[in-house]
Structure 1
Amino acid sequence: MRRPYLRLAGGGVRAAPARPAKEPRLASSASVSGPSSRGRRLSGMVSGLDLGLLNSSRAGPLRRPIAGAVETGARVFAELEDLDPAAFESPTAEEEAAKCPQSVVRSADEFHGRRGRVVELPCGLTLGSHITVVATPRPAHAEGDPKIAVLREGEQPIMVSQFMMELQGLKTVDGEDPPRILHFNPRLRGDWSGRPVIEQNTCYRMQWGTPLRCEGWKSHSDEETVDGFVKCENWILDADGRSKESTTTWLNRLIGQKKEMNFDWPYPFVEGRLFVLTISAGLEGYHVNVDGRHVTSFPYRPGFVLEDATGLSLSGDLDVQSVFAGSLPTTHPSFAPQSYLDMSTVWQSSPLPNEPVDIFIGILSSGNHFAERMGVRKTWMSAVRNSPNVVARFFVALHGRKEVNVELKKEAEFFGDIVFVPFLDNYDLVVLKTLAICEYGVHVVSARYVMKCDDDTFVRLDSIITEVNKVQSGRSLYIGNINFHHRPLRHGKWAVTYEEWPEEVYPAYANGPGYVISSDIAGAIVSEFRDQKLRLFKMEDVSMGLWVEQFNRTRPVEFVHSTKFCQFGCIDDYFTAHYQSPRLMN
């Protein structure tokens, strides 16, 4: 097998490779001449990918789910084309206001009967909103989860008692884990620290932020406060379980504390003892009081606002007696598509050029990601609209909810930058959108390079263009943050079975939030697909690595690895930045 030619980013400037130039085969949507022509039928905005060709053994374990998703998607799409949008007009202000109660109350019986242990806050929170939870921590139990406690032979089980209280963005994304706007996690028997702690954090699209841990020591006097409150209060106990009045130890010197530290109350949660906890929303952050005393304050983090917190989730070792949320907003926030979308002609896409382009950017998106797409249009896609040699389009499948598809249809017809891949969306079938991106880049816009990214990725277009232009003329290119010798996970939420991936190691592959391939690779992928020879895998970035590896057997590929395709946010001189919420985009 031919070994990949590897280059780290930062080489000398080289001429751009000359790719075969051919007249683009424009879809009917591409022939629309300007904003005044919006309102065409959806059939002109559909990917040219023939999904029926996937009904072959090369699809492997995906063959059956693909067939079901394609069949359902075709039916939903046909219904959507003939649907009268007037039948789904946006509700009036009075109707919206009726959905926003000023308070929400759940008793123990009601709480357990509604979506498990989640209380919906229909319109989120606002300044001054507060949530009170009355509950009792359960007694500790032996922990058997190997991710929490690994026991050696002869050791006693580790006893654990903990619970999670989370403000979540239930209305942000359907079919994905909701973002944790506030993760509040008391661990009564402690964790690796060996003493009771409270850990707080945020999580956006499975990417956790930096935790704030309260371990019994009061925040330093020089540390920033939240609305005048310290982030962490005291709760250190002595060996007899009594509150310490004062102490001066080596730890004082270690942490730079010169004065005596006073501790006047214990850890706020006790197994089997009822507590009353209140979370309140201040100007600078969330404040948590237990039994009338301040425990911790958590500053707001970028990317989230109070109206995003549309649900309270309670899980773990906890028996809930009641939940009361008060001072809630009585007007509808901006999670509705009509509030997210700025229907201005400024953000409409330009007609497709009649000549081949340098770069085509395909953006993976879900049907209900209205805010994400609008964030992209208003930021880095502006550079695309101003460049005659770059084209970008969103690739979207059909949603399971009719009202979402109706709004999506309106959005697509107005902005002209959405390409439908007609199957019912499923996370395991994202690879179909990647195939559609390759097909569009090769056969519709005749791009020299094809880039794939996600709708929560910020792209520095000028840096991408500069980097691909460093490649020696004629070389096939695969550029991104490349993983080598990665192994599939066989256990847990993201487990991959041996039927799905029998090998022990993945091929070299670039992380999915942003990578670039040359058009000859994209063309070969489409040809293999049409000949029903293309192997599919549910992880689209690994699939791309597999396809590039196959191409590399007959023609050398230049693998360009760069950490500037950043996975976790922004770094100096980044090419792409992942996990950017719509508000961070702006």
Structure 2
Amino acid sequence: MKRWSGSVVVIILFSLLTLKYLIIENPLTEKSLRNILYRNSTETLKWTLQIAPNLPQNKINPSPFVVISTEQILANLTIPSNLTYVQLGLLHTWQILNPLLNFSNSLPKTIEAMQEAGFAWSILKNHIKNQNQGSLDGSGTDKKEQCPYSIREMNSSRLVFTNGNLFYLKIPCGMVLGSSLTVIGTPGGLYGSFKIELIGSSLPGEPDPPVVLHYNVRLLGDKVTEDPVIVQNTWTPTGEWGPEVRCPSIKESNSEEKVDGLEMCRDNGNRTGKGIFSEKGKNFYNITKRSLHMKMNDGERKNAFPYKQGFLTISVLRIGAEGMHMVVDGRHITSFPYRSNFEPWLIGNVRISGDIKLLSVIASGLPTTEKLGSIIDLEMLKSPQIAPHKSVDLFIGVVSTANNFKRRMAVRRTWMQYEDVRSGRVVVRFFVGLHKNGVVNEELWNEATTYGDIQILPFVDYYGLITWKTIAICIYGTDAVLASYVMKTDDDAFVRVDSILSSLKKMNITNGLLYGRINDDSGPHRDINSKWYITTEEWKEANYPPWAHGPGYVVSHDIAKIVHEQHKSGSLKMFKLEDVAMGIWVDNIKNGGVDVKYVKEDNINILGCKENYVVAHYQEPRDLHCLWEKLLETKRPLCCN
């Protein structure tokens, strides 16, 4: 009896440590952690069909998307005449980019992205009108409430049981890298199978929104196998279901296929300490390499599965850079790579259904904004006023998405504090598309008017449309300001502005320059499931022309100007991989007679940070702050980890 009691204590302590490590990153939420474990210890969440309009249930005969004319789309994107001078400055590239509709067959979701932006813009214009008339407080007093850091559903008395076994958790401002969803519950019922789905946002008049992730646990198997299996997929009203990813897999797969460095299906996720597939604990089998047809009795297979009927389970889904990762009871189980047009920042709801008794559902690490009243360095963070068409040494365009509030604030507090930026010698602007979520757009607009460093673009953000942002950067750098050089970077990159300026001055190349981490030996990905999949219609050649990796590259003014002019004339070739697209444009410019110089910079780090970096990519806000502090303290480009 004492031995059994001791085991229970150990399990409870392990669960507490797991929760603390996996869920709570904010020290202010430790008190809420205790509430999860004690307040709900005897009562499970009941299913509820909360108000969640336009969410797909039976994916048969989806409602058709309302088709409108090009003229109507452009009409919906018109800029109202009553905007202030400052507000018009936030939309400098907006009308210039409207001819993008001419390229509707060149990039994925062109028409949809602009049509969705039209709906979103009409809603945002009402917010702007009310704000300008003084009926709204633009000071950001309630911003935390609009975009909270975390959302918890732990009190079953607040939920209403209905006849549709569905539980919804609204995600008000999408998810970003580092966000997580924690589901604590016990699989039960007759089948013990359940689904966790991340549902995209939708606008009025749209068909059912997409399913960004369909995570389906089938404890009794399905038509393919009688063994327990996890099936992951995506769904869109126009494309139906994508190719499903099964764990364990039923076919041979590439052992090197990983997502954020993690295997797509791990072999160590069971409760017994063995692999998901092991025979009497003696032999380990990597399920990404081996077929499932192994000599193992049914009991051994089912006991090895990470979920089991009647056993409390803590499942944590984390948003990564390349995909989404599920951790069950502290062990990584599956990783699902992002698919084109299924971005995490568009997530609007979590839907859980099936045979599972829920204790808690928690979304944490969500994008949130800072209350302006609590920002003591506000004036220092505002962009210096720049006269129209001012000549500057360098213009830096930073690609960002609407709900990446924290990243932009981190950039403002770190490398945008270089004296060259504060003095106006270097100008920095964020380039951001609209969001399908009205709350996010309101927060974005308030942020843009506060800091004056954001260019809002006339389309809803999708990964395949980043090329448009590159065009917008070239437009701004040769029209709004007259920059000798134009640089493109990302909001998760640390840019050593002093080093970039020094290198440009030393090389003294004023025309025909492409400077960056040049790749001159690469070709298109032909794997249909790849995020970078390219069809032969998009690019038929086996290799690309030389191109510079997207986290940081620089072109001279003449290159950016030609890109701007070719866009205006409609002769610019569209390609969905923006950094490769710039390489293609530069190659065409070269073939047109311009003497192009490719200058390689190996200290532009595209996969993290290395000492003596010029650009360090994949840096979270805390990393940006750390790099900046090290620069200030040591005057040397040292990494933080």
Which TM class, normalised by the smaller chain length? 0.5 to 0.7
- Determine which structure has the larger helix proportion and give its number: 2
Map 1:175-186 → 2, pairs under 5 A = none
Map 1:206-221 → 2, pairs under 5 A = 208-209=260-261
Select which of 419, 427, 433 maps to 2:469: 433
- When normalised by structure 1's length, the TM-score is 0.61
Pair 464,237 (structure 1): closer, same or farther in 2 beyond 3 Å: closer
Map 1:415-430 → 2, pairs under 5 A = 415-430=451-466
Select which of 477, 486, 493 maps to 2:523: 486
Matching of residue 500 in structure 1 with residue 538 in structure 2: yes
**Does the 8 Å contact 1:58/1:534 carry over to 2?**
no
Cα distance in 2 for residues equivalent to 1:417 and 1:574: 25
Pair 215,475 (structure 1): closer, same or farther in 2 beyond 3 Å: same
Matching of residue 43 in structure 1 with residue 88 in structure 2: yes
**Does the 8 Å contact 2:219/2:227 carry over to 1?**
no
Matching of residue 572 in structure 1 with residue 611 in structure 2: yes
Map 1:128-167 → 2, pairs under 5 A = 131-134=184-187, 135=192, 138=219, 162-163=229-230
| Offset, 1:504 | 4.2
Deviations 1:388-429 (A, max 9, x none): 421101112222222222221211111111122233434333
Cα distance in 2 for residues equivalent to 1:232 and 1:270: 8
Select which of 154, 171, 183 maps to 1:102: 154
Map 1:441-452 → 2, pairs under 5 A = 441-452=477-488
Aligned to 1:367: 402
Matching of residue 585 in structure 1 with residue 624 in structure 2: yes
Map 1:247-326 → 2, pairs under 5 A = 268-270=303-305, 274=309, 276-279=311-314, 321-326=355-360
Aligned to 2:381: 347
* Secondary structure of 2:311 counterpart: strand
Q: For structure 1, which segment, 553-562 or 339-348, has the greater mean C-alpha deviation from structure 2 after superposition?
A: 339-348
Aligned to 2:13: none
Aligned to 2:297: none
Segments of structure 2 that go 5 or more residues without pairing to the other structure are: 1-82, 194-217, 234-245, 284-299, 317-325, 334-346, 626-641
Aligned to 1:14: none
* Secondary structure of 1:410 counterpart: helix
Select which of 360, 364, 368 maps to 1:336: 368
Aligned to 1:543: 581
* Secondary structure of 2:448 counterpart: helix
* Secondary structure of 1:447 counterpart: strand
Aligned to 1:179: none
**Does the 8 Å contact 1:216/1:235 carry over to 2?**
yes
Pair 456,320 (structure 1): closer, same or farther in 2 beyond 3 Å: same
Identity, in percent, stands at 27
**Amino acid in the other structure paired with 2:89:** G
Pair 213,525 (structure 1): closer, same or farther in 2 beyond 3 Å: closer
Pair 464,77 (structure 1): closer, same or farther in 2 beyond 3 Å: same
**Amino acid in the other structure paired with 2:230:** F
RMSD: 5.2
Map 1:59-70 → 2, pairs under 5 A = 60=106, 64=111, 68=115
Segments of structure 1 that go 5 or more residues without pairing to the other structure are: 1-37, 144-157, 167-184, 218-230, 248-264, 290-294, 299-308
* Secondary structure of 1:374 counterpart: helix
Aligned to 1:555: 594
Pair 161,402 (structure 1): closer, same or farther in 2 beyond 3 Å: same
**Does the 8 Å contact 1:357/1:448 carry over to 2?**
yes
Cα distance in 1 for residues equivalent to 2:249 and 2:273: 15
Cα distance in 2 for residues equivalent to 1:161 and 1:508: 47
**Does the 8 Å contact 2:386/2:424 carry over to 1?**
no
**Amino acid in the other structure paired with 1:44:** G
**Does the 8 Å contact 2:397/2:429 carry over to 1?**
yes
Pair 351,580 (structure 1): closer, same or farther in 2 beyond 3 Å: same
**Does the 8 Å contact 2:434/2:459 carry over to 1?**
yes
Cα distance in 2 for residues equivalent to 1:55 and 1:569: 36
| Offset, 1:526 | 1.3
**Does the 8 Å contact 2:435/2:461 carry over to 1?**
yes
* Secondary structure of 1:469 counterpart: helix
* Secondary structure of 2:482 counterpart: coil
Cα distance in 2 for residues equivalent to 1:208 and 1:563: 22
* Secondary structure of 2:544 counterpart: coil
Deviations 1:458-511 (A, max 9, x none): 212222223323324445211222233312435125333344344443332222
Pair 214,386 (structure 1): closer, same or farther in 2 beyond 3 Å: same
Cα distance in 1 for residues equivalent to 2:276 and 2:530: 38
Cα distance in 2 for residues equivalent to 1:326 and 1:562: 49
Greater Rg by CA: 1
Aligned to 1:228: none
**Does the 8 Å contact 1:359/1:448 carry over to 2?**
yes
Matching of residue 377 in structure 1 with residue 412 in structure 2: yes
Aligned to 1:399: 435
- When normalised by structure 2's length, the TM-score is 0.56
Cα distance in 1 for residues equivalent to 2:504 and 2:402: 31
Pair 386,57 (structure 1): closer, same or farther in 2 beyond 3 Å: closer
Deviations 1:84-109 (A, max 9, x none): 38558865999989974434699999
